Amino acid sequence: MLGEIEVEQWMCLAELIANSFGDFNEIMVFVISEAAVRRC
């Protein structure tokens, strides 16, 4: 049926989004900690 998405596809999409936010958080923590180190 048109517009029907299987559960596995939703899970893949959700995992992709979650991983993207996780990677973004790791990068931001690194950038902020580097900025703090350079300030001292």
**Chain centroid to CA 15:** 9
pLDDT reported for residue 10: 80
Return the pLDDT at 30: 92
Measured in residues, the chain has a length of 40
Q: What pLDDT score does 5 carry?
A: 63
Query: What local confidence, expressed as pLDDT, does residue 27 receive?
Result: 92
- The CA distance from 25 to 29, in Å, is 6
How far apart, in whole angstroms, are the C-alpha atoms of residue 20 and residue 40?
31
Report residue 37 as tokens.
């180190």
Which pLDDT does position 24 carry in this prediction? Answer: 92
Q: Say what the alpha-carbon torsion angle 23, 27, 29, 30 is, to the nearest 10 degrees.
A: 140
pLDDT of residue 12: 87
Model pTM? Answer: 0.55
Please name the helix (run of DSSP H) or strand (run of DSSP E) that holds residue 7, with its range, or none.
helix 7-39
pLDDT along the chain (40 residues), means of 10: 70 89 91 85
